Amino acid sequence: MDRPSRPYLDYSVIDTPLSLYIHFPWCARKCPYCDFNSHEVQGDIPETQYVETLVQDLAFELKSESRTNLRSIFMGGGTPSLFSAAAIHTLLANIKDRFDISKSEITLEANPGTFDQAHFDGYRKAGVNRLSIGAQSFSANALTQLGRIHGPDDIQLAYDGARQAGFKRINIDLMHGLPGQTLADALTDLKRAIELQPEHISWYQLTVEPNTKFYKYPPILPKDRVLEDIFIAGNDLLQSAGFLQYEVSAYSLPLEESRHNLNYWQFGDYLGIGAGAHGKISRANQVIRTTKSKMPVEYLQRPEGKLKVVDTKELKLEFLLNTLRLTNGFDLSLFEKTTGLGSGLLDSFLEQAISRGFLVRKINQIIPTEKGRLFLNDLLMLVD
221-260 pLDDT per residue, tens: 999 999 999 999 999 999 999 999 999 999 999 999 999 9
Residue ranges of domains in the chain, CATH in brackets: 18-263 (3.20.20.70), 312-384 (1.10.10.920)
- Does position 9 have pLDDT exceeding 80, yes or no? no
Q: Are 260 and 107 in contact (CB under 8 A)?
A: yes
pTM recorded for the entire structure: 0.93
Give pLDDT tens digits for 43-85: 899 999 999 999 999 999 998 898 999 999 999 999 999 999 9
Task: Quote the DSSP letter at residue 100.
Answer: B
Mean pLDDT for all residues in the chain = 93
Cα dihedral: 299, 264, 119, 103 (round 10): 120
pLDDT at 180: 94
Buried b (16+ CB within 10 A) or exposed e, 91-117: bbebbeebbebeebbbbbbbbbbbbbe
